[in-house]
Structure 1
């Protein structure tokens, strides 16, 4: 699963230039028949985003008069570039990307309006199964295969290590030079004592006997606006009715996921993961559902926002704390939570 997030100032310069061009060209949803088309760019294809696929497959967007064009944009930088250049209307990506763009300066900020996941989605995998509660001190002196620097997974990982009194650079051999797609293969071939993995790789490793989940970075790092639907402020201002309908559909999907069994959720999202074994899909859904990763509503609360910035600050990736009211608009999620049952 590729959830690399935008974390480099240089990568944003082109983004902002394209955003300016898109603003001059104008934007707005395209109508398809009587429905309004909304183009979503998701940062990756992931079971982590189950409520999104439920909203499409169960027809919740169509009930709201929306036709969804869903594209996987593969990476935070590409997702944000596509959003700001007008290639998509709504991005599903980590909230830190909206902060990175804001740090570079823009007259049309990217605004978070409907949260989908509320924890980190990675797990600590060891070569041996856990014997009781995991002792984080075991990591000291070990070789740890981590995620790429600047992305939220890496920041949440380092935040957790520091929380347990472990200095990522001094207390262990931290490897961050392996390409994201090659991390599972590197660990399976013998690199590292521990690895930070996304699903479904973690569950696949357990099934294959190549590793064992011993802890959850999602549980350890706390609630975060980890993956959120966002759009340019200009788009939201121009298409408030469409954004409200979008938030309504997401809320209905969130309600459905909260109330449904693992098997029912797996059946609903199955068409999006035909190459993944069904028992692995169920295992991943159960793991995320049990730890509360799927947000019950789209509201990004202040505590989550502050926790996100604490994580970014601890990683040295935050120039200045971003104003909540500038980059978060909860009016659509709040109305959806109140009205959608």
Structure 2
């Protein structure tokens, strides 16, 4: 009888051990919504392709939601756990009286990612040359347009009075509009800017990222409730992001391009390398996940200058750096 009882206990313990081991080996799924697909987000794809998320026991399921409003809707309705989007969206949500705030916890890019592209080749470009031109800008209220206006005003140009400003074209259609003859200048993301230059459709004359200074341009964020319910997941996620940021800093543009190429199958590898090198050399990729207070204030100054800041939100209200600092300390 004792032998039989001992066997039952032993088998029960083995089953429990097997179940526990199995549970520990099962990756935690994280649904990630990125605002668009862009080489600008290279460290994110490095984290996926180099297995940094997997090393932390996370199964990251990434979806491209194509637009800040759609990304934030996915996050707020529970369709995504984490979002990669501009920090201005968290301010808009908070200003509307959100009961479950969206918290910025890990920064990915720290400058604007757009470039000024001229239709004709310009020697000795100066911003003054935009006066009297037709400028094809970005959607009102979005970070590209706000940064664009901030930079132009910094150089003494009122985009609404000194240029014929066009900003009623959908983000996805702006390159086609310029290619078909609309505008003398256009504000474009990569790799479109470099592709246009290669094809003779336009010429990069300036970088909005270099001109605007550091801002939390794209940040990983999550609902406050999700972060409180899943602190270990957020910490592991941030650790994987930090690993990717270090890897990007320590490797060449060519190596980075080769790593992220599976996410840009329609783009030539040489173009990817050119774009990565351009972003890396101007310091667009954040070197760590901390969003600092100076960047946060710079963001709100830019939004205010554009007339799109609903109200100022304290840094501590929507930014959590405790996780990033803990990860970096380890």
- TM-score, length of structure 1 as denominator length: 0.88
Q: CA–CA distance in 2 between the matches of 1:236 and 1:179?
A: 33
Matches within 5 A, 1:30-41: 34-41=26-33
Pick from 263, 274, 281 the counterpart of residue 272 of structure 2: 281
Q: CA–CA distance in 2 between the matches of 1:84 and 1:117?
A: 22
Q: How many residues align?
A: 308
Contact 1:288–1:294 at 8 Å: present in 2 too? yes
The answer to whether 1:268 aligns with 2:264 is no
Deviation at 1:337, TM superposition (A): 2.1
Q: CA–CA distance in 1 between the matches of 2:49 and 2:256?
A: 11
RMSD of aligned Cα (Å): 1.2
Pick from 150, 158, 161 the counterpart of residue 159 of structure 1: 150
Pick from 73, 77, 100 the counterpart of residue 92 of structure 2: 100
Q: CA–CA distance in 2 between the matches of 1:130 and 1:299?
A: 38
Q: CA–CA distance in 2 between the matches of 1:177 and 1:112?
A: 29
Deviation at 1:32, TM superposition (A): 9.3
Q: CA–CA distance in 1 between the matches of 2:90 and 2:53?
A: 25
Deviation at 1:195, TM superposition (A): 0.6
| 1:84 paired residue number | 76
Deviation at 1:320, TM superposition (A): 1.2
Contact 1:121–1:199 at 8 Å: present in 2 too? yes
Contact 2:245–2:287 at 8 Å: present in 1 too? yes
Q: 1:140 to 1:318 in 2, by over 3 A?
A: same
Q: CA–CA distance in 2 between the matches of 1:179 and 1:81?
A: 18
Give the match's secondary structure for 1:329: coil
Alpha-carbon deviations, 1:159-207, whole Å to 9, x = none?
0000001011111111112222221122112211111111111000110
| 1:338 paired residue number | 329
Give the match's secondary structure for 1:325: helix
Alpha-carbon deviations, 1:309-330, whole Å to 9, x = none?
0010011111210111010000
Q: CA–CA distance in 1 between the matches of 2:169 and 2:73?
A: 24
Contact 1:41–1:92 at 8 Å: present in 2 too? yes
Give the match's secondary structure for 1:147: coil
Unaligned runs of 5+ in 2: 1-22
Q: 1:257 to 1:214 in 2, by over 3 A?
A: same
Unaligned runs of 5+ in 1: 1-30
Deviation at 1:33, TM superposition (A): 5.3
Matches within 5 A, 1:73-222: 73-132=65-124, 134-222=125-213
- TM-score, length of structure 2 as denominator length: 0.91
Give the match's secondary structure for 2:169: coil
| 1:68 paired residue number | 60
Give the match's secondary structure for 1:115: strand
